[in-house]
Chains A and B, each alone.
Chain A
Amino acid sequence: MSGVDAVSFRDAQDRAAQLEDAQQAAVLLDRAVQSGDHHLAQAVAEKAYSNASGLFGGQWADVLNQYAAARPWAADKLNEYGDALWQGDSFNAAMTFGVPRPTGLSDHLTEGQLQALAEQVDSSAAVLGAAQ
């Protein structure tokens, strides 16, 4: 990056830092794309990236999609952003990876007790046969 580029990009980051909401970001990004200001477009995308993982990040995520649409070469990476965003979503992660106790297995059993119970199966060929 040349010295001029570095200043330009820093200025763009300063402008992006002042954005207060995703709507402003979308307008600024649109303007940057129309005028071919790549530094500003990237700075807005960086800002959107930082904000999109919050609880109300949906509109910021839309800004990232807008950025990707204007830059096809970045689209794949930004699509993967959705994955990164999602994995940071503890609610969705809990819904997807959480394992409730099944009916018939007491919630009061500790992990150790569960392990001991499970080992009863391993130690009994008759039990395994009955389970088939």
Chain B
Amino acid sequence: MPRLNQATVDAAAARRERFQQRVEEINRNERIHPSLRAPLLAKAYLAHKAELSQMQETWQRHGELTAAELRRNCSAPAR
């Protein structure tokens, strides 16, 4: 199989891991009043979502450019 973009997968996984740690921290930290947990979770969630959305957008753009270039290369005459 062609190589998958492991770097992007790994980067997304690392961000997801960091997000999960933040969620656990918010849910378990007794210093945080229960009524404040939802706002903190919402903030962390939206930030994480925006981060991954940006990654996906960048990656899709890269993929489109690469695919277009490969189409040109495959269609070109032999050198």
Interface residues, chain A, with chain B CB atoms under 8 Å away: 1, 5-6, 9, 38-39, 41-42, 45-46, 49, 52, 58, 61-62, 64-65, 73-74, 77-88, 92-93, 96-99, 101-106, 109, 114-115, 117-118, 120-122, 127, 130-131
Contact = CB atoms under 8 A, between A and B. Distances in A.
A88 B59 CA distance: 10
Interface in B58-79: 59-60, 62-64, 66-67, 69-71, 73-79
Sort chain B's interface into a size bin: 35 or more
B33 A130 contact: yes
Contact of B1 (A82, A103, A118): A82
Contacts, number: 146
A9 to B, nearest CB: 6
Nearest to A9: B77
B74 A83 contact: no
Interface of B: 1-5, 8-9, 12-13, 16, 19-20, 23, 26-27, 29, 31-33, 36-46, 48-49, 52-53, 55-56, 59-60, 62-64, 66-67, 69-71, 73-79
B70 A78 contact: yes
Nearest to B8: A96
A82 to B, nearest CB: 3
A43 to B, nearest CB: 8
Interface of A is mostly: helix
Contacts of B41: 102, 104-105
Nearest to B2: A82
A58 B1 contact: yes
A41 B74 CA distance: 9
A106 to B, nearest CB: 8
A77 B69 contact: yes
Given A82-B5, A120-B39, A131 B26 contact: yes
B66 A131 contact: no
